Structure 1
């Protein structure tokens, strides 16, 4: 089928049916703009035409996924012909013993095709981020830092002090747990499809270590709600800082003068952190919660806009303080654990709002079935959550296993409510040719592409400039020696997106400035020759109809 756009009209050409089908031609239909706007949508009506039996039958027999929007769009002409056949015809859908579609359903499906396959939004998408209707009941209920009782806080202190006093070789000890994320063990997955699952297992494993201390068997890891000012006790022992007991070296094995025994973690004061989050971080988490596709919820991966969760994660690390901005040692700051516990809560809330707390439900949220984001959940080897799968001899600890937090980890959160700023309008930078859309002439997406990050020592900021004046900035969180990080080298070149009013970028010279947090090598600005050959593009945004 070929779609041709003539002004506001869409014409669907006739196509030649396959040999096994009866000769049946798609009618020649034209729709006005108002008719297009009133057409059925995938989430509103069309996906409900396929029953659970239909989906399971076609998946097992032919490997077809009738629960997938992208699959149904690409096979819509064939599906339309098959559901239109007489009940006893060869090749009819639904297959026996399924119930044939009514004339109204067939007409509705055709109207959906003609309108350009409007996707719509899931009914369960909760724009207000209200508390989910039924929170799973679990044994481990994680609470906010500010809602701990005096007794709970004392036990948490006891647990932290207990694991901090364990030796540097003890797998239950604080040092070993922090070393997994950065130096010296460096297992962590950042800017990678396994990013969320890996950190979910990390929080669970750390919580287990806290529970290994006598008298702390019921301790749960609290989360840091970013809307709440950090309590004073977060700046007192044992939560205020951690001192390295030994040198931790570098990824290449040499001595690192910055991370020797005696290095003490540090962070900004509570008010500065809250101001930083409000200014530079929360907008990304707000964007992420409006996404209905997992691919876009994360952002950055597989070419998706870098305006969502991963950008929030990177900016949040930088906004918290010097130690947290350094991937090599960020996990040694005790606040790291409460920070990532809240990120896990935010992922769980997104799952709840998108019917994605089970494997079947979650897999339906992955739009691109050939992407790395899909493969990590379907290939056990790629999705292995090491080092825990190795040390615990748990082959089941895979990305897929992490999806169901309540069943597989016995974890839930006290609050499933988020207080986030207004998200940017959910507009599209890319749409399939089969989609109909309107172009926004007031807002644009500025993308910096192919920026080589491999020679930048540690976390850095990209500033978008117009006539040398800053329009916006984005943070990228990474280790000191990128070329020694095998996970980093999967994506040595990265892109950055900035959503701005058209008027802000017109009539001037656009450029970028890259500022490293570590200024020992380049000073305040990384030379452009170090960055490869990055490009800047400005694109209009689209509203899908």
Structure 2
């Protein structure tokens, strides 16, 4: 039988394959599990690269002994593509983004708060009122739940790999509390898409403010003074919108969504820019949201963080990382112990562990996925292996990193500004407790970096300086914080490089 012309060849040979676009798809979950039992990891770039010759030998037809089942055997074309990847120097590449969601229908569907029907919003209001009416000692009461994030418990994990997983579990616990209010068993927590103004629905009771019924500082260990009485506060809608622009929140979100790698919270990848946008978003919304100890008491916190979880799920979907196996393929060069080590993957005070949060049964009515015309992903960094073929592209931004900030000496959340000829050209808000030395996570990650991505025109031929301001400083001494007391941070400016 003659093959019709222009018929696609199944499993075609790829002349210049990369790990993220091609090779990682060759290993099925059952293959990864089968070989993991034998001490060989097929689930990460570094391990596949390290074992590439052995993998090739065992999978090459016609005498392949792996995978053991006939259905999983590699074709000659696939084997040739894998060989090409080895010969070309194991290029990492970039993801081919998914543009449409797939998979089973979620068990819970969260919606944009502005799209809720009047009946749905009324039920949400009932649920919030019910949770807020519970006693300060009720484990499913608003005061207790908000107190897990800041005062008095301060369980939350920031600026480290478990940040997104911890908050994903936290949102579910709060949502479960809402659903425990009689008649509200089907309520789901909506999100506020911060690319749009703060909705009017969140500017009226019970969503506009919260009056603390007890002193969370007195319940903390050690006690924290001056936290009671307290009513949450927010900026005006116009000021929130202006602050989001000032602190580059939407720009950092956009950068995070184009990352091929999960990365590290203080170095690169999705995690870096996701957390950076999270911090600046907190500082944009209001005085309460900008204080780690009190932010979760502001009802807007839940809608804000629900959107952050939606963005993370959007990134997972784009990168084929909605399963643990798929997610691990985005950890090239990164730490995997927070997913695998029983001493490092807990999410206290919850029973769930970080690895259990990757594959979630919660969905959103709309994910932030690229259109077919916006499918370019990136994996840009300040350095690359000399064995790789690399390029500098004129359209790529200049990376300016304020490096080595000793956050432990800074009393509370702070603003880092990059000034050109004395005027701010970029600013970011860093979210932390008022006394970071009493925060175990802060101490573990005591030195931090802030990244700015700028056009060359914004920085060339201009006098650049750096400034740190602490909004909580007293009026007598001003908000400026001496750089010498912040560890004398340095400035690294560089062109970003990627594989050609």
Question: Same fold per TM (> 0.5)?
Answer: yes
Question: Contact 1:461 / 1:514 at 8 angstroms: preserved in 2?
Answer: yes
| Alignment match, 1:334 | 299
| 1:241 Cα deviation after fit | 0.3
Alignment partner of 2:119 out of 120, 137, 151 = 151
Give the structure 2 partner of residue 452 of structure 1.
Answer: 406
Aligned to 1:231: 199
SS at match of 2:42: coil
1-side partners of 2:75 and 2:196: how far apart?
54
Task: Determine if contact 2:24/2:329 at 8 Å carries over to the other structure.
Answer: no
- The answer to whether the aligner puts 1:316 opposite 2:281 as a matched pair is yes
How far does the alpha carbon of each residue in 1:159-196 deviate from its partner, in whole angstroms, 9 at most, with x for none? 21122121111111111011111111111111121111
1:380 aligns with 2:342: yes
- Whether 1:121 aligns to 2:94 is yes
Equivalence for 2:473: 519
- C-alpha deviation, 1:349, in angstroms: 1.8
- 2:452 paired residue among 498, 501, 512: 498
Contact map agreement 1:287 1:424 (CA 8 A) in 2: no
Tell me which residue corresponds to 2:136.
Answer: 168
Residue 356 of structure 2 is aligned to residue 401 of structure 1: yes
CA RMSD of aligned residues (A): 3.0
Match for residue 268 of structure 1? 235
Query: Relative to structure 1, is the Cα distance of residues 513 and 452 closer, same or farther in structure 2, using a 3 angstrom cutoff?
Result: same
CA drift at 1:508: 4.5
Q: 2:464 aligns with which of 510, 521, 525?
A: 510
Aligned with 1:294: secondary structure? coil
| CA distance, structure 1, for counterparts of residue 73 and residue 356 of structure 2 | 37
Change in Cα spacing, 1:100 to 1:252, as seen in structure 2 (3 Å) is closer
Of the candidates 219, 222, 230, which is equivalent to residue 190 of structure 2?
Answer: 222
Pair 47,225 (structure 1): closer, same or farther in 2 beyond 3 Å: closer
2:388 alignment counterpart: 435
Quote how far apart the aligned CAs of 1:204 are: 0.7
Q: 1:300: which partner in 2? A: 266
**1:253 partnered with 2:204:** no
Q: Which residue of 2 aligns with 1:536?
A: 491
Give 1:205 deviation, angstroms. 0.7
Aligned residues: 479
Please say if residues 93 and 379 of structure 2, whose CA atoms lie closer than 8 Å, have aligned partners that are also in contact. no
Q: Structure 1 pair 455/80, CA: closer, same or farther in 2 (3 Å)?
A: same
Distance 2:23 2:431 in 1: 41
Are 1:479 and 2:430 an aligned pair?
no
The verdict on how the C-alpha distance between 1:362 and 1:157 changes in structure 2, with shifts beyond 3 A counting, is same
Q: Deviations over 1:31-73 (max 9, x none)?
A: xxxxxx9623334444455566654443322x22234322233
Matched, 1:287 2:258: no
- Structure with bigger gyration radius: 1
Contact 2:398 2:496 in 1 (8 A): yes
- Distance across 1 between alignment mates of 2:165 and 2:68: 39
1:464 equivalent to 2:464? Answer no
Q: 1:153, 1:248 → 2: CA distance?
A: 30
- Which residue of 251, 265, 290 maps to 1:325? 290
Counterparts in 2 of 1:519 and 1:117: CA distance versus 1, 3 Å: same
In structure 1, distance between residues paired with 2:403 and 2:436: 18
| Alignment partner, residue 367 of structure 2 | 416
Structure 1 residues 381, 239: closer, same or farther in 2, change over 3 A? same
Q: 1:76 to 1:246 in 2, by over 3 A?
A: same
Rounded Cα–Cα distance in structure 2 between residues aligned with 1:212 and 1:60: 42
For the residues of structure 2 that align with 1:100 and 1:248, how far apart are their CA atoms?
60
Work out which of the residue numbers 192, 210, 218 in structure 1 matches 2:160: 192
Match of 2:327 in 1: 362
- 1:209 and 2:177 aligned: yes
Q: Contact 2:416 / 2:428 at 8 angstroms: preserved in 1?
A: yes
CA contact (8 A) 2:45 2:331 kept: no
Provide the residue aligned with 1:244 in structure 2.
212
Could you tell me which runs of 5 or more consecutive residues in structure 1 were left unpaired when the two chains were aligned.
1-36, 390-396
Q: Report which stretch shifted further, 475-484 or 279-288.
A: 279-288
Pick closer, same or farther for the CA change 1:109–1:140 going to 2, 3 Å.
closer
2:315 aligns to what?
Answer: 350
Q: Distance in 2 between matches of 1:187 and 1:306?
A: 20
> Relative to structure 1, is the Cα distance of residues 348 and 48 closer, same or farther in structure 2, using a 3 angstrom cutoff?
closer
C-alpha contact (below 8 Å) 1:306/1:496 kept by paired residues? no
- The answer to whether the 8 A contact 2:280-2:429 is kept is yes
Name the structure 1 match of 2:146.
Answer: 178
Contact kept, 8 Å, 1:449 with 1:536, in 2: the verdict is yes
**How far has the Cα of 1:137 moved from its partner?**
2.0
Q: Contact between 2:384 and 2:498, CA under 8 Å: does it hold in 1?
A: no
Rounded to whole Å, the distance in 2 between the matches of 1:137 and 1:105 is: 32
Distance between the aligned counterparts of 2:201 and 2:76, measured in 1?
66
Given that residues 192 and 199 in structure 2 are in contact (C-alpha distance below 8 angstroms), is that contact kept between their aligned partners in structure 1?
A: no
Correspondence 1:132 to 2:132: no
Report which stretch shifted further, 270-279 or 173-182: 270-279
